Amino acid sequence: MNPAPAPVDRWDERDALARLRYAHGPLERRAALLALLLEPGNEAERRAWEAECAGLAGAARWRDDVGRLGEGARLPVFEALLERSRAAPEAERAGLVEAARRVIGADDRVRPLDLLRWLVLRQRLLEAPPGPAALRPAAQAPIGAPAPRAAFEVLTGFLMRVVPQPGEGTRPGPAQQAWHERALEAGAEDGDAAAAPARPEGAPAPDGEGVLRALRALQAESWMRRPRWLRAWIDALPPPGPSGLDAVAAEALCLCASLLDVPRPAGLAARYAVAPLG
């Protein structure tokens, strides 16, 4: 289970946001972005963060400011810092992607949220061209990539670990299984094969390579078709929908929207009503 987040003091958060607006230099952005990847209480990740930020005097200040952010502010700050970093030289951006990989892998395990954050970071810094989604060419599906429906099933099986809330340990519980079944039904189209059965209890979740292949297959679809997969995941949520989601599940679905380059539904976006850093 993920550690329960500490209560957030809104005045502390406001002050932290004010200071993070000044994280413009490469080392400051690096320290803050990598701090946003840390799991609370994870000593291996903290030591890896310290090693990656050893060249910045006062790096702990940026980590402490990130620690003062509430759940509704962390994702907007992550995205704002990524946007700032997109103008950096390619070597700096590639170095940041590799540093993030070392931090999230420092404890020899990668949580679903770790993988999704790293994929978004890599996409924004090394892959995504600027401009509206409708004007960008679709990505090319790699050779051997699954068909879109099969890819959707793989990603749904992956998300089941955290939606509508993280399961106990590594095994999905009844709530996760029920969401998985509803999502597969919601994503079905005329002409699809019969809806796939729920992943058998105890079956291994898709690995990182399988998730990446599935993601590439859905990214290769046209910008008009990609939103249907996110809608299926949202439509499968139990009442009251996005507003009742666990924080980890909400961020996971937001990151998937970013990876598929589709808009977030209003109910999901409303959870992150924090002014950008500017």
* CB-based contact 99:234 (threshold 8 Å): no
Q: What is the pLDDT of residues 115-154, one digit of tens each?
A: 999 999 999 999 866 555 544 555 666 666 789 999 999 9
* CB-based contact 31:53 (threshold 8 Å): yes
Helix (H, G, I), strand (E, B) or coil at 224: coil
Which amino acid appears at position 87 of this protein? A
Query: pLDDT over 70 for what percent of the chain?
Result: 83
* Residue range 61-77: mean pLDDT, rounded: 94
Q: Band the pLDDT of 80: cuts 50, 70, 90.
A: very high
Query: pLDDT over 90 for what percent of the chain?
Result: 72
Determine the pLDDT at residue 135: 46
Total-model pTM: 0.88
* Residue range 64-85: mean pLDDT, rounded: 94
Token digits for 245? 């989601």
Domain boundaries, the chain: 10-127, 136-271
Which amino acid appears at position 240 of this protein? P
pLDDT of 91 above 50? yes
* CB-based contact 200:188 (threshold 8 Å): no
pLDDT of 101 above 90? yes
What is the average pLDDT score of the chain?
87
Determine the pLDDT at residue 50: 96
Q: What is the pLDDT of residues 21-46, one digit of tens each?
A: 999 999 999 999 999 999 999 999 99
Spatial distance between the Cα atoms of 144 and 71, rounded to a whole number of angstroms: 38
Residue 220's Cβ-count burial label (10 Å; 0-12, 13-18, 19+) is middle
For tokens 């932290």, what's the residue?
A: 16
* Residue range 165-170: mean pLDDT, rounded: 77
Q: What is the pLDDT of residues 235-254, one digit of tens each?
A: 999 999 998 999 999 999 99
* CB-based contact 32:20 (threshold 8 Å): yes
